[in-house]
Structure 1
Amino acid sequence: MPQGSTRLPLKETSQEANSVSPLSDETRKAIVSLRQVHKAYKNGFNALTDINLEIQSGDFLFVTGPSGSGKSTFLKLLYGEERATAGDVMVNGLNVGGLKGDRLAALRRRIGIVFQDYKLIPRRTVAENVAFVLWAQGYGRQEIQRRLPPALKMVGLQHKADSFPDELSGGEQQRASIARAIVSTPPLVLADEPTGNLDADNSWQVIKILKKLHAIGITVIVTTHDESLIRLSNHPVVQIRNGHLYRPQPK
């Protein structure tokens, strides 16, 4: 066991939960719940072992750990990109492992996902990249035009709406990807190493945007290995090391 850490299962106490959520106790419920989750690959590698975790609606949680520790696998289990070998992965009250086709697509529409490498469409403008999500979900032109400006304003890219990805800095590209993730107002945002390709200033801008989303009631889960950002942000942290989940002890 790593020094200064305690093995989980983790369930926030009421005192801890109140300190990280803008929601009242009456409206808080588990939005993510993992019960004895194990993930093994065909080559025999155990990515995650006996993971027990409950995240309440409105929480902001950092998931940290060294490269290859299982952080990305953890997030992929939440949106169904990977399936658990054993155990239950519950998101929004649904067992993700049992979802396929339209039911899995419906769940993913309720989750905003931010990737380290942005995944913007090169030949579409910022506005078109963000609007594409709404179009794919069946929103009409009027509703898309209503939702687009607030999403761009949230990330500070109103003036870049007509720019293409290759005309943006790395920080701007990541902010565009955040706008794309939140434009449909999902209750849950997953950010996988969102600052991994950014310098310190742009990294903090990204974290500030995620904190703003949290302040309006969105549940945010961020994987990162950047300990300085974690210290500045002052939100709960869990560690994944060698496939196991730990809660760091205060120093």
Structure 2
Amino acid sequence: MRTVVKTDQHIPAKDSTSSPQSSSNAPIVQLRSVTKTYNNGCHGLLDVSLEVKQKEFLLITGPSGSGKSTLLKLLYGEELATQGEVIVNDCNVTDLRGDRLSLLRRRIGIVFQDYKLIPQRTVAENVTFVLQAQGFTRKEIQRRLEPTLKLVGLLSKANCFPDQLSGGEQQRVSVARAIVGTPPLILADEPTGNLDPDNSWQVIQILQKLNSFGATVIVTTHDEQLVRRCNHPVVQVCNGRLYRK
């Protein structure tokens, strides 16, 4: 059954993508002497340590192939560290398998550079797909959907398909899908890599707004101009090693 959104429905005054966060300044992400070595002997990361506190907005820079994407994949368990510890939400990701890993991933919103939208599903269906898989009721899905689409500026495109959208709009659908479950941690892997400067800044502004609501945001990018414009803490990955800028 298709999820259809009527664009003239009432929108709550407060975006339901926001959620109260702990006032604690405890880290939500910790990498402790992490090394990732692939089967061919190449190092994705080499003895990397990093701590990201709750509600922080962190930019990770570096050239293609430097290890940025590897770092994010370690955080949501797509890759496993060869050595060291990866701690997310007080869980050692290396120890998680099956349902336990799935539960952790529900607490992480992931934005991909290539969008990863389902072509045969509408904007609304792409955004709500994960909620449906997690067993949310139709009423709760609808409650979350409209404010989320409004936040990313796509309420009027709810019933469009991905091939009817621009690249910038498709990336905003990807952002909406990542945040509709109100995760405390958002990981964005080169979210502006395929976008022009105006669309890139629009995506970053959405992520900054989510950060102001209390979400922790980690963004990888090779766009130095964007990094300077953002004025957030920055770490650089170079040859698998991490440097504070």
CA distance change for structure 1 residues 237 and 165 in 2, over 3 Å: closer, same or farther? same
Equivalences for residues 1-251 of structure 1 within 5 A: 26-248=23-245
The number of residues matched between the two structures is 226
In the alignment, structure 2 segments of 5+ residues that lack a partner are 1-19
Q: Deviations over 1:224-247 (max 9, x none)?
A: 000111111110000000000001
Shift of 1:27: 2.0
8 Å CA contact 2:21–2:214 kept in 1: the answer is no
Distance change (3 Å), C-alpha of 1:43 and 1:200: same
The change in CA–CA distance for 1:47 and 1:108 in structure 2 (over 3 A counts) is same
Q: CA deviation at 1:26?
A: 4.7
Give the secondary-structure state (helix, strand or coil) at the position aligned to 2:218.
strand
Q: Any idea what SS the aligned residue of 1:51 has?
A: strand
Q: Which runs of 4+ in 1 moved over 4 A?
A: 23-26
Question: What residue is the counterpart of 1:7 in the other structure?
Answer: none
By how many angstroms is 1:54 displaced? Answer: 0.5
Q: Report the secondary structure of 1:213's partner residue.
A: helix
Please give the TM-score of this superposition, normalised by the length of structure 2.
Answer: 0.91
Give the CA RMSD over aligned residues.
1.2
- Tell me by how many angstroms 1:25 deviates: 9.6
Percentage identity across paired residues of the two chains? 69
Letter in 2 for 1:225: H
How far does residue 147 in structure 1 lie from its aligned partner after superposition? 0.4
Q: Aligned with 1:27: secondary structure?
A: coil
Please, what TM-score do these two structures have when normalized by structure 1?
A: 0.88
Determine the C-alpha separation between the residues in 1 that align with 2:89 and 2:165.
35
Letter in 2 for 1:60: F
* Cα offsets for 1:184-216 (capped at 9, x unmatched): 000000000000000010000000000000011
Counterpart residue type for residue 220 of structure 2: T
CA distance in 2, matches of 1:84, 1:143: 37
Contact 2:44 / 2:240 at 8 angstroms: preserved in 1? yes
Q: Secondary structure at the match of 2:119?
A: coil
Partner AA of 1:106 in structure 2:
L
Q: Deviations over 1:8-44 (max 9, x none)?
A: xxxxxxxxxxxxxxx9995221100000000000100
